[in-house]
Chain A
């Protein structure tokens, strides 16, 4: 198992959208390495022909009928918003290259 590089951790941080500090990235290089090494042992188990499990229990199909119900009060949502304007949520400018 290859070691984690600074760039690799930084790339993961970008995917995860967390502005990690350099110090955190350095720490995570080791932490991730340790955890990944400890979980890698599952590669010893024979999983040929085994189906993956997403839901632990087999359950019958679960649907909702197409009937409209009560929606949330906008004022309540906007009260909790970090910033709002004209009944909408304000986001800082979105750059095209991000």
Chain B
């Protein structure tokens, strides 16, 4: 691997003004594909989800899926786009082995959604407005598996196998205008924007938003210029960046790489790159040659797409409360600080806390669990929190038992861990493990008396008002009761006993 020279990020953003552009492909969650009646399921048997249309057989013709258009419009409205009453599908012509027709049906000069914006919240609580150029509808290509060569990458593969199942799945490609003025925050803006788009798509019910299933894929464009008053520089395009973190890293890396190049009097090549997760760098894939003339023209197999004013209004009325607004409302309702809310966001735990609160937990209690013990366990197991065996209902239950004094903090942690380990629901675990605070004073006072009797010197000190060795007695009582005693009650009993 060729290692490229980089400028430090701080120096790069001090010397140059970064401009970024983001293209996010959102896979729409519909029962069938964009232009045919095949259903698509991630991970299904290769080449089993095809019709003459999505397989591109001679003679087959596309027909637009109404639901896909509705969902695309919904997403457009949520991104504050202008929805065009008339839009048009155009063919993007280029040859690639994953394309059954060797043209993609996309939109060109008449996209369904134009001109929008999205406000995203940055780590310091500030709001950054990302301008959106368009959010157009298009169909996806198949998937290529590279055989031979190094770790399934295109480079060095001996040959490849194509699974066309994904061909024809509806996508909305959201293209930003050049994002300027982000400066050193450019990487953050990229990540925050992509998260916001994902959250909106999920909240609107238009996409499952699963990065790991490829429901969201991003292309990241970066260019630098000396000053904001200069024209845009030559940009690099990093394709298929498949996680939010990788997007942030891509932007940061490209800023550093290009800054070094430019500072050495070099030139940035207009090229396609990809993010190399292993090397934590972007790598040039191919020169964007002049051969890329896509020869867009309106698809004669399809009619103009017409979404009426009233249909647009109907869809607008069906929009749910959007994540950004909702977060502001929840923050106020829960009385969280900026920092608390941000931590929650970064951990992608807002919905989990919200659900836990709905099930009866206190907001602070829920926050404490999700960002504490549960997050720790999730990190340990390296899976997202939503995938753990513990749910909001369990957290609410544990929190309720804790606040009503049925469990100690320590016991609650035990319960959480057991639920995560799949040992059952909280009540079952409490029952099974016999976790119970012993606050019954007759049982406890027996233990207290016993401990004091066995340690007369400590008892004497306590009687004389020297409370220092109190802990020893509490510890003995805890031991005697297998840790189930309520420390507060024990303390009170000891005091009662020594003051007799």
The chain A residues found within 8 Å of chain B, CB to CB, are 11, 14-15, 17, 52, 54-55, 59, 61-72, 74, 77-78, 85-94, 96-98
Q: Which 5 A-B pairs have the closest CB atoms?
A: A66-B67, A69-B37, A88-B161, A63-B66, A68-B39
Q: Is the CB of A54 within 8 A of B298?
A: yes
Q: How far is the CB of B75 from chain A (nearest CB, A)?
A: 16
Q: How far is the CB of A44 from chain B (nearest CB, A)?
A: 23
A86 and B37 contact, Cβ closer than 8 Å, known pairs A15-B291, A71-B51: no
Q: Is the CB of B45 within 8 A of A74?
A: yes
Q: How far is the CB of A77 from chain B (nearest CB, A)?
A: 6
Q: Is the CB of A62 within 8 A of B38?
A: no
A14: B residues at CB distance < 8 A: 291
A94 and B161 contact, Cβ closer than 8 Å, known pairs A64-B37, A68-B39: no
A54 to B35, CA, bound (A): 19
Q: Is the CB of A77 within 8 A of B157?
A: no
Q: How far is the CB of B89 from chain A (nearest CB, A)?
A: 10
The residue from B30, B69, B95, B157 contacting A93, defined by CB atoms under 8 A apart: B157
Would you call the interface of chain B mostly helix, strand, loop, or mixed? loop
B52: A residues at CB distance < 8 A: 72
Most chain B CB within a 10 A radius of its CB, from A11, A65, A67, A93: A93
Q: Is the CB of A71 within 8 A of B65?
A: no
The residue from B63, B163, B298 contacting A63, defined by CB atoms under 8 A apart: B63
Known: A66-B31, A90-B162, A91-B159. 7 other contacts (CB 8 A): A63-B65, A64-B65, A72-B51, A74-B46, A87-B46, A87-B48, A88-B161
Listed stretches B199-207, B300-308, B391-399, B438-446; interface member: B300-308
Contact flags B37-64 to A (C-beta < 8 A → 1, else 0): 1110000011111111001000000011
10 contacts between A and B (CB under 8 A): A15-B93, A15-B295, A63-B65, A63-B66, A72-B51, A87-B46, A88-B161, A93-B157, A94-B160, A96-B286
A98: B residues at CB distance < 8 A: 286
Contact flags B85-99 to A (C-beta < 8 A → 1, else 0): 000100001010100
Q: Is the CB of B303 within 8 A of A59?
A: yes
Q: Is the CB of A89 within 8 A of B162?
A: yes
Interface size of B as a range: 35 or more
Q: Is the CB of B300 within 8 A of A88?
A: no
A61 to B65, CA, bound (A): 12
The chain A residue sitting closest to B96, CB to CB, is A94
A17: B residues at CB distance < 8 A: 95, 102
Q: Is the CB of A88 within 8 A of B159?
A: no
Q: Is the CB of A61 within 8 A of B303?
A: yes
B64: A residues at CB distance < 8 A: 62-64
Q: How far is the CB of A3 from chain B (nearest CB, A)?
A: 20
Contact flags B300-336 to A (C-beta < 8 A → 1, else 0): 1001111000000000000000000000000000000
Tell me if B418 counts as interface (CB < 8 A to partner A). Answer: no
A59: B residues at CB distance < 8 A: 303
Interface residues of B in 96-117 (CB under 8 A from A): 97, 102
Most chain A CB within a 10 A radius of its CB, from B47, B159, B164, B298: B47
Q: How far is the CB of B497 from chain A (nearest CB, A)?
A: 74
The residue from B159, B161, B300 contacting A86, defined by CB atoms under 8 A apart: B161
